[in-house]
Structure 1
Amino acid sequence: MTGTEVEILRTVLDQWKRAIGDHDPKRVASLFTEDAIFQGLRPYSIGPESVAEYYDAQPIGLTAVYDILETRRLAGDLILGYLGVDFAFTDRSLVTVNLSVIVRRIGEAWLISHYQVSRLG
């Protein structure tokens, strides 16, 4: 992993993490491209509006802690990140998932264009 890829991913994912913790679904959605493929723990959807709907349905108090496990620079403006994420709830057990994201540079911003969760055992 190079520092640059990790730094770019952390910049985007730290904003994602804060917006989840603040229960601000519109702010979460603003981190996604207009054509983003989003696969949480229900059927996939496309675009920021569906991301906002997904996170709006999540309970208040949800938090995410992530660890970047691998990165790949797919092209100058595309970075793949593979992460371990723990989602914590106030009223139920921790949910641990693997998360793959592709962030894409659009102008000066890096946005999530692909988000794929897989649940562990």
Structure 2
Amino acid sequence: MSEGEILRAVLDRWRSAVDAHEPDRVASCFTGDAIFQGLRPYTVGRAGVAAYYAAQPLGLTAAYDIREVRRLAGDLVLGYLEVEFGFTDRPALTVNLGVLLRRVDEEWFIEHYQVSQLP
């Protein structure tokens, strides 16, 4: 698989779980020791990821555009994206997202997730 295909496969799993409001399934896209930085203080591990997404409002959706992707090593892929989070009761929020994916056995997971809000 190409770097872009790897990134898209992982992010499509993530987006599907976010759109379905399934926090545990979102967390399953991450490594067990993933560093996660959303728009609140950071956390480490799947439990923190699940708690973050459990606190998100019902109807939250995610749409992304890949801006850059690089393979840093055989088992590491870096991605930089623009993500629009949609809400049912307020305007959408557009953020930058950097992710580092790591292959564990034959499956890819998010190892690091860093959101920054656009000005």
TM-score (norm 2): 0.98
- 1:59 is aligned to 57
- 1:20 is aligned to 18
Alignment of structure 1 residues 81-120 onto 2, 5 Å: 81-120=79-118
1:11-33: CA deviations, max 9, x gaps?
A: 00001000000000000000100
Question: What are the ranges of 5 or more consecutive residues in structure 1 without an aligned counterpart?
Answer: none
Residue 43 of structure 2 is aligned with which of 32, 42, 45? 45
Answer yes or no: is 1:10 the counterpart of 2:8: yes
Residue 93 of structure 1 and its aligned partner are, at CA, apart by 1.0
| Structure 2 residue identity aligned to 1:32 | F
TM-score (norm 1): 0.97
What SS does structure 1 have at the residue aligned with 2:2?
A: helix
* Superposed structure 1 runs of 4+ greater than 6 Å apart: none
- 2:33 is aligned to 35
Percent of residue pairs identical: 65
CA distance in 2, matches of 1:6, 1:64: 18
CA distance in 1, matches of 2:32, 2:12: 20
What SS does structure 2 have at the residue aligned with 1:43?
A: coil
Matched positions, count: 119
Residue 72 of structure 1 and its aligned partner are, at CA, apart by 1.1
How much is the aligned-residue C-alpha RMSD, in angstroms? 0.7
| Structure 2 residue identity aligned to 1:28 | V
